[in-house]
Structure 1
Amino acid sequence: MESENTFDIFLVAPPGLESVIAAEARERGFSGVTQQAGGITVRGDWPEVWRANLQLRTPVRVLARFASFRAMHLAQLDKRSRKIDWAALLPQGVSVKVEATCRKSKIYHDRAAADRVKTALKDSVSAVIDPEAELVIKLRIEDDLCTFSIDTSGESLHKRGHKERVNKAPMRENLAAAFLRQMGYDGSQAVMDPMCGSGTFVIEAAEMAMGLYPGRTRSFAFQTLKNFDPAAFDAMKAGVQPQKVAAQFYGSDRDTGAIHMSTVNAEKAGVAALTEFRHAAVSDLQRPDCAPGIVIVNPPYGGRIGNKKQLFALYGALGKTLSERFKGWRVGIITTDGGLAKATGLPFLPTTPPVPHGGMRITLHQTDPLS
């Protein structure tokens, strides 16, 4: 039976990856998983909010929907906003940012709605309104229903807190985890990235195999709330024992600086013993001495680095090497351009929806095991 302390927890999804996040939430034992455009709703209490931030690899952030009511005009919004028990949630003098959006409602002015909430916060907890504050209160008014959420993550969840260096066009960690899941990765397969950059795919795969929590070394916005229990959260973090797995996570890159970056990042993430990074061009790529697994790569594409016209030969060389040397392996290539993917000559399956990333839309092209 659901506790009276439960509420909706919204897991913000990169558009196109809602089903991946829903599947992860179910695997992690969250209840009431409901998929919708832009994210996933689960039901839980505040410790479940902490757990979502700590354990889930694929969401962008976690919003706690802590209050809701109907309001037909600004005076009503003002009055009912003041009845929220802000003092139970926020410390006195807290710095906070307020965002409001209005859709299909009698209250239609976003800024005016936000101003009413700001006044309620100032009067109840002497809040300091700061557009740069990490703590963000979000008000959504739709069909006259006012829903209040707090961004409990702070920085985007792709920032794991243990990556020291990145290359020019890094793959976000939550997207890397999502693409690995879309390829059927479950922690048991070998993973190779032949253009590893700062090592994101390789490190994420190794962490997933070990069962390490992605948020284990970072801080979160919810840690500033009045209801946060540091001892309970420390116990939650300590509740996982890393799994012993084979060292079968490989990265290579023609850039020696990338290999150094990847090595440093793997050490900081605690997976150095499972990973191997080598300086090698695509044409020199060698199949690891292990059972067939997954090759996943985010090659350069014209809109991201360099001139696209010069990339067709690179993609062709990558496809030729993989076809000749990686029989039995499944291949995933992430790119903005289907023509570049086609240049590999690999037998790709129908694609999943494109995903926004860095102002572009990227698509995962994947194969069955190569024959």
Structure 2
Amino acid sequence: MTDSTPFEIFLAVPPGLEPLLAEEAASLGFPAPAIVPGGVTFQGGWPDVWRANLSLRGATRVLARIGSFRAMHLAQLDKRARRFDWAGVLRPDVPVRVEATCKASKIYHAGAARQRIETALRDTLGVEVLTGPAAEDAPDDMSELRLKARIEDDLCTFSLDTTGMSLHKRGHKQAMAKAPLRETLAALFLRQCGYDGTEPVVDPMCGSGTFVIEAAEMALGLLPGRARHFAFESLASFDPVAWEALRATSANRDTTLHFHGSDRDAGAIRAATANAERAGVDHVTTFKTHAISDLMRPDGPPGLVMVNPPYGARIGDRKLLFALYGALGKTLAERFRGWRVGIVTSDPALAKATALPFLPPAPPVSNGGLKVALYRTAPLP
């Protein structure tokens, strides 16, 4: 595998959101994105891997499919793994963790397959192989490099996780409110509501500010991965000069729009304000402490009200939430004519309690172990 040879790049996303991620990838100029279960694929090179990690808002992680071969038994796997061009992609001084899965293959023992690949890496490249529990939530500078081996129908495919820590970890959300929505999911829900950075956004239950900050970043042209470390920086193919030039394209453009968040929890507002400052969007965002009943339409053109209210599944009493959703719907219907609304909830009955004229709901997706759906309106009459 040479630097100029295209390979398959896989963009992971929660099931059900693949079409939205494909739309985003196409809008950013990635060539011919194809929808597959659990993600989107396209052909590209290492600069495309870097740009995908840097610029995609909806992807969870980016995998580089670095090669494949047939293996009918463990001895054959061992031999061909030793002949693989590891030095073309891995550095001997960077530890790597190997993960293996087997499906519908003569090699059916994933643990034995993983051990053969680990031994091949040690013997041919001299690399340290990590064992024990994976450090998924380690600090950014401790992101592990992971090699994934998938053996399916006797075809062994090697993929490198080029992301490290999940892409929802933008690097600026240090303070979090209860039950935060992941940034990647928030970005896809904004896209599903037709948001493209050219209109204001209001979130009246903003928590730690995820929707407001994502929308403001989009309006300002700020790339989501501009402030964090990625696993690909530890690969043999990494070019730090080219990477810095690419990262410098996250230019802060001007916008006349303003983005508003509010919450009845003063601690949430403090968290959202601090997160917005770290993200560099504090000059176009305002966060205030007040109840839903005190929500007022901001001056200026209509835009999008985006809300992730409590669901009652883990936080609060579900019965009390019907009054909350009802108050939200009443306030929006009376004061936000011409605005579109997007509400994320796990409970259709709560969405119905708003009495808002929702379009047919989008298919549910997984969020932290719960199935949630986006309920959208056209501009309110």
Question: Normalized against structure 1, the TM-score is what?
Answer: 0.97
User: Secondary structure of 1:341's match?
Assistant: helix
CA shift, 1:240, in A, is 3.8
CA shift, 1:4, in A, is 5.0
Whole-Å Cα distance in 2 between the matches of residues 19 and 232 of structure 1?
30
Aligned mate of 1:304, from 295, 314, 317? 314
1:279-294 alignment runs, 5 A limit: 279-294=289-304
> In the alignment, what sits opposite 2:221?
211
1:156-167 alignment runs, 5 A limit: 156-167=166-177
> In the alignment, what sits opposite 1:295?
305
> In the alignment, what sits opposite 1:46?
46
CA shift, 1:87, in A, is 1.8
The residue type paired with residue 206 of structure 1 is A
Given that residues 226 and 250 in structure 2 are in contact (C-alpha distance below 8 angstroms), is that contact kept between their aligned partners in structure 1?
Answer: no
Whole-Å Cα distance in 2 between the matches of residues 240 and 129 of structure 1?
35
CA shift, 1:324, in A, is 0.6
Q: Per-residue CA shift, 1:71-99, capped at 9, x if unaligned? A: 11111111111111112222224321111
Given that residues 247 and 275 in structure 1 are in contact (C-alpha distance below 8 angstroms), is that contact kept between their aligned partners in structure 2?
Answer: no
Whole-Å Cα distance in 2 between the matches of residues 182 and 357 of structure 1?
16
Correspondence 1:276 to 2:286:
yes
User: Secondary structure of 1:66's match?
Assistant: strand
CA shift, 1:226, in A, is 1.5
Q: Per-residue CA shift, 1:2-45, capped at 9, x if unaligned? A: x9511000000111110011001101111131101100001111
Whole-Å Cα distance in 1 between the matches of residues 195 and 32 of structure 2?
25
Correspondence 1:338 to 2:348:
yes
The residue type paired with residue 186 of structure 1 is D
Q: Which moved more, 1:273-282 or 1:86-95?
A: 86-95
Q: Per-residue CA shift, 1:110-169, capped at 9, x if unaligned? A: 111111111111112222222436111001111111110000000000000112211121
> In the alignment, what sits opposite 1:71?
71
CA shift, 1:253, in A, is 0.5
Whole-Å Cα distance in 1 between the matches of residues 268 and 68 of structure 2?
48
> In the alignment, what sits opposite 1:91?
91
Correspondence 1:191 to 2:198:
no
Q: Per-residue CA shift, 1:200-219, capped at 9, x if unaligned? A: 00000000111111000000
Correspondence 1:319 to 2:329:
yes
Whole-Å Cα distance in 2 between the matches of residues 14 and 32 of structure 1?
20
> In the alignment, what sits opposite 1:177?
187
Whole-Å Cα distance in 2 between the matches of residues 88 and 143 of structure 1?
26
Given that residues 89 and 227 in structure 1 are in contact (C-alpha distance below 8 angstroms), is that contact kept between their aligned partners in structure 2?
Answer: yes
Whole-Å Cα distance in 1 between the matches of residues 8 and 266 of structure 2?
47
> In the alignment, what sits opposite 2:141?
none
Structure 2: segments with no counterpart, 5+ residues: 136-143
Whole-Å Cα distance in 2 between the matches of residues 4 and 92 of structure 1?
22
> In the alignment, what sits opposite 2:116?
116
The residue type paired with residue 268 of structure 1 is R
CA shift, 1:106, in A, is 1.3
1:214-253 alignment runs, 5 A limit: 214-253=224-263
User: Secondary structure of 2:84's match?
Assistant: coil
CA shift, 1:310, in A, is 1.4
Aligned mate of 1:200, from 179, 204, 210? 210
CA shift, 1:108, in A, is 1.3
Correspondence 1:370 to 2:370:
no
Structure 1: segments with no counterpart, 5+ residues: none
> In the alignment, what sits opposite 1:100?
100
Whole-Å Cα distance in 1 between the matches of residues 156 and 179 of structure 2?
39
The residue type paired with residue 151 of structure 1 is D
Q: Per-residue CA shift, 1:301-359, capped at 9, x if unaligned? A: 11131121111110011011011111111111100000110011111111111111111
Q: Per-residue CA shift, 1:160-185, capped at 9, x if unaligned? A: 01122111211100001000000000
Given that residues 62 and 161 in structure 2 are in contact (C-alpha distance below 8 angstroms), is that contact kept between their aligned partners in structure 1?
Answer: yes
Whole-Å Cα distance in 2 between the matches of residues 76 and 94 of structure 1?
26
> In the alignment, what sits opposite 1:27?
27
Q: Which moved more, 1:304-313 or 1:146-155?
A: 304-313
User: Secondary structure of 2:33's match?
Assistant: strand
Question: Normalized against structure 2, the TM-score is what?
Answer: 0.95
User: Secondary structure of 1:35's match?
Assistant: strand
CA shift, 1:241, in A, is 2.6
Number of residues of Structure 1 aligned to a counterpart in Structure 2: 369
Given that residues 53 and 167 in structure 2 are in contact (C-alpha distance below 8 angstroms), is that contact kept between their aligned partners in structure 1?
Answer: yes
Whole-Å Cα distance in 2 between the matches of residues 202 and 93 of structure 1?
41
Given that residues 9 and 41 in structure 1 are in contact (C-alpha distance below 8 angstroms), is that contact kept between their aligned partners in structure 2?
Answer: yes
Runs of 4+ aligned residues of structure 1 deviating over 6 Å after TM superposition are none
Whole-Å Cα distance in 2 between the matches of residues 210 and 200 of structure 1?
15
Whole-Å Cα distance in 1 between the matches of residues 4 and 90 of structure 2?
20
Report the identity percentage: 61
Correspondence 1:137 to 2:154:
no
> In the alignment, what sits opposite 1:152?
162
Correspondence 1:263 to 2:273:
yes
Correspondence 1:16 to 2:3:
no
Correspondence 1:329 to 2:339:
yes
The residue type paired with residue 258 of structure 2 is Q
User: For the aligned residues, what is the CA RMSD?
Assistant: 1.2
Given that residues 200 and 259 in structure 2 are in contact (C-alpha distance below 8 angstroms), is that contact kept between their aligned partners in structure 1?
Answer: yes
Whole-Å Cα distance in 2 between the matches of residues 229 and 111 of structure 1?
34
